[in-house]
A and B are shown apart, each in its own frame.
Chain A
């Protein structure tokens, strides 16, 4: 049952380059590029060669892929859903604080 495998916490201390994040999420460069253009991903750095993505980017890519695949939404639609979902999560968290 137990196997040796490596565990990585995708936390705020980690960043990934353009190609690395494509490999981790197993997506095309093109999708990541489009997501940057759409403003869904905001990597640090001025050009694709120097871009650094954080863990939030990984989640955004994964959720985008699932929404596109499962619900057939396009990229701007997924971007809108992501923003709203994150805002909802933030509000839920504040509500938990208050109760």
Chain B
């Protein structure tokens, strides 16, 4: 089991006052709150910060933690010393109703499981009138644009509170297969009924699971709501003369009819080629980018000069020159 340096986690000195600890915690909690932080490790950091604060804000727990001595390094292999005061392990507190924080093995071996359900929540808008229903779980699921375009099946792992009977509760990873419906978009939530935590009472209903959709970056496309965007490089002659070009879409290549006299920056629409759900239609927008071939040989240079003669043209006329 790895030793956790709670002072380091909160970035405070070992002799920091309760006020200093609280201030450090508040600042870090705001910074790494999963709803605020876009940091990849934000959620993990937030849990660590809460765990550290859970110990350091409580005078008795802090004393017990400090009693191991100041020479421990974070990550060092740790066993509680013989005779370690067992009374801390009785647990009996609970963590947030909205964002359950799981604590590390290190924490639980010292202070017991922090997941007791008995104490009612103060200052919470949660659970009122729903005491028998298990807690709702919230998580994010990252999917590719293709997963949304075609629909998909994903397996996710959730840390769930499991009632082992006899009053023992533990947190265990559980796999769950999730069907991603066609046409879900970023920020939307899918609600999986009864896949939250089990109810406190035996006959209590399970809570629900809310999964928020996050799109993984795509090498070719960007996405805005239901619409897919692609920048399409074309040649000057395709732009001038028009052409039929095979354009990649999420559903495979489709022929795009490029009209003559096309220009860089023009946007063409491929109707219905975006993220479509049962009732909503997304399009793909293709932004043209004319790429100009380099004139390397004498012959090629000659050709450009002939173009200049044959097609006198001032793209800067709008700039007063």
A and B co-occur in one complex: yes
Q: How far is the CA of A51 from the CA of B250 in the complex (A)?
A: 38
Binds A, one of B91-99, B110-118, B299-307, B312-320: B91-99
By beta carbon, the residue of chain A nearest B175 is A1
Cβ-defined contact, A26 with B127, below 8 A: yes
By beta carbon, the residue of chain B nearest A64 is B125
Residues of A within 8 A of B23 (CB): none
B151 to chain A, nearest CB (A): 11
Interface presence of B42 (CB below 8 A): no
Cβ-defined contact, A13 with B280, below 8 A: yes
Residues of B within 8 A of A8 (CB): 190-191, 193
Q: How far is the CA of A65 from the CA of B130 in the complex (A)?
A: 16
Given contacts A11-B277, A11-B280, contact A69 B96 (CB under 8 A): yes
A-contact bits for B277-320, CB 8 A (1 contact / 0 none): 11110000000000000000000000000000000000000000
Residues of A within 8 A of B133 (CB): 26
B-contact bits for A71-99, CB 8 A (1 contact / 0 none): 11000000001000100010011001100
CB < 8 Å neighbour of A85 from B35, B96, B126: B35
Interface presence of B195 (CB below 8 A): yes
Q: Number of B interface residues at 8 Å Cβ cutoff, please give it.
A: 49
Cβ-defined contact, B126 with A27, below 8 A: yes
Interface residues of B in 164-196 (CB under 8 A from A): 175-179, 181, 184-185, 187-195
Q: How far is the CA of A70 from the CA of B185 in the complex (A)?
A: 27
Interface residues of B in 25-44 (CB under 8 A from A): 26, 29-30, 33-36, 38
CB < 8 Å neighbour of A26 from B136, B185, B190: B136
A-contact bits for B109-139, CB 8 A (1 contact / 0 none): 0000000000000011111101001001010
Interface residues of B in 135-155 (CB under 8 A from A): 136, 138, 155
By beta carbon, the residue of chain A nearest B178 is A7
Interface presence of B224 (CB below 8 A): yes
B residues with a Cβ closer than 8 A to A are 26, 29-30, 33-36, 38, 96-99, 123-128, 130, 133, 136, 138, 155, 175-179, 181, 184-185, 187-195, 210, 212, 222, 224, 229, 277-280
The 8 closest A-B pairs by CB, nearest first: A69-B98, A66-B98, A27-B125, A8-B191, A10-B189, A31-B125, A6-B193, A2-B177
Cβ contacts A to B, 14 pairs, < 8 Å: A7-B181, A9-B189, A9-B277, A10-B189, A26-B127, A26-B130, A26-B136, A55-B188, A59-B189, A63-B35, A66-B35, A68-B125, A69-B96, A97-B224
